[in-house]
Amino acid sequence: MNAPQEARRFGSGRAVRRIEDPALVQGQGRFTDDLAPAGELFMAFVRSTHAHGRIVAIDVGTALAMPGVVAVYTGADLLASGILPIATAPAFKRADGQPMAAPPKRARPTPWWWLTVAWWARTTSIAFSQAR
């Protein structure tokens, strides 16, 4: 009575083979590092070696002077360029119109975020170069 019946409807009750697998098992996948567009740059993150602290200044001069380095950006640069906080999902309202219970949102790209190191290995600056 409960014996499995052969599915008669397309897409129902059958194992589905993923269409991406044949390429992936033959090394024909295309991951970001597999692409080499003309003029591509390589990005490196410089991370904090301190667990906590306030960034007073970052000297990017030595990095910029290295051959092939195109640009170095720090949090202060992003602030100065007017990059806005990452938009977060709007809070739902309760049936009575009150805001839902939620922890305070901490949108990251605030002055506090860019000028404070809150944990070890946090990104402090980003460098772009023509070679690794």
Partner 1 sequence: MPLLRLNVNGRPVQTEVEPQTLLVELLRGPLGLTGTHVGCDTSQCGACTVLVDGTSVKSCSMLALQAAGRSVTTVEGLARADGTLHPVQEAFIACHGLQCGFCTPGMMMTATCLLQVNPQPSDDQIADALEGNLCRCTGYVNIVSAVRQAATVMNAEGA
Residue entry with tokens 């697998």: 21
Q: How many residues bind partner 1 (CB under 8 A)?
A: 14
Phi, psi of 36 (to 5 degrees): -135, 70
Using the rule CB under 8 A, is 57 a contact of partner 1? Answer: no
The smaller minimum CB distance to partner 1, of residues 27 and 61, is found at: 27
DSSP assignment, residue 2? -
Using the rule CB under 8 A, is 20 a contact of partner 1? Answer: yes
Half-sphere exposure of 22 (CA within 13 A, CB side): 2
The letter for the amino acid at 78 is: L
The smaller minimum CB distance to partner 1, of residues 21 and 59, is found at: 21
**Footprint of partner 1 on residues 23-42 (CB under 8 A)?**
24-29, 31, 33-34
Which residues of the chain form contacts with partner 1 (CB under 8 A)? 17-18, 20-22, 24-29, 31, 33-34
